Amino acid sequence: MHDPEIEKYLQTNKAMWNEYVGINSHSAMYNLDAFRQGANMLNSIEREEVGDVKGKTLLHLQCHFGMDTLSWARFGAQATGIDFSDEGIKLAQ
């Protein structure tokens, strides 16, 4: 069943995340330039808690523009990130 109220909410939320991609990709916090040069963007606690991911499969839901997902891949995971933001997916590619 198609609910116009839910569809409106989903489209508003998607538009917000599309806008955040443009903002966040230029922010110092995300430091996209360093990432593109090979920097790991994961926090130490994430690495410590998850441990060695070499050869493991990882699915990252709501990955934004994929920096964490791609960081896990750099550590050897077969990583897949998904997101509903068109702009996030474009930037991740």
pLDDT, averaged across the chain: 95
pTM score, two decimals?
A: 0.86
DSSP conformation class of 84: S
pLDDT at 1: 61
C-alpha dihedral (11, 69, 93, 18), degrees to nearest 10: 20
Q: Model confidence over 22-61: pLDDT tens digits?
A: 999 999 999 999 999 999 999 999 999 999 999 999 999 9
The domain ranges of the chain are 4-92
3-state SS class at 81: strand
